[in-house]
Amino acid sequence: MRASGNQGAGAAQGAGAEQHVAIFGLQVQVGAGEMGMNEHMSEAQALARVKQAGVVDPTQANEMAELLIAAGLTMPSAWAQIEKRELVELGVPLGYTAALIAEAQRFMAGRCGAQFVRVMEGSVRSETCSC
């Protein structure tokens, strides 16, 4: 997978200073890293991400949040290099994919900090195996 929407973002900048990263063209403050890469966000946080991505119909928002939860998209590591196509295959309407990725990556950069940003930008890679 490749990073989506954050090409050319550049590394989080500033050592010891407030760090920012560009996510879909928006400068986002990189958090202190209070959430680990494999910790799950809550159902309420997943629903909030969906609503922040512009889903206003409550039924559709709940259904979309349930799709994300069922697919394991509650962990930061799942959002680091996700592609729109993957969300569409899950059943997320195409029109919401970019906004959902941007919102999730913004949230994860704020909660997971530089570790998430490094993975998102591809400077840290994990290999997959077909075990």
- The mean pLDDT value of the chain amounts to 82
Residue 26 is predicted with a pLDDT of: 73
SS3 label, residue 64: helix
Residue 20 is predicted with a pLDDT of: 84
Lowest model confidence (mean pLDDT) among 35-39, 110-114, 121-125, 127-131: 127-131
**Residue 5 reports pLDDT greater than 80:** no
Say how far apart CA 47 and CA 60 lie, in whole Å. Answer: 10
Mean pLDDT, rounded, for 32-49 = 91
Percent of the chain with pLDDT over 70: 80
Mean pLDDT, rounded, for 15-42 = 81
**Residue 55 reports pLDDT greater than 70:** yes
**What's the pLDDT band for 102 if we cut at 50, 70, 90?**
very high
Residue 58 is predicted with a pLDDT of: 96
* Cα–Cα distance list, 44 to 5, 36, 47, 58 (Å): 25, 18, 5, 13
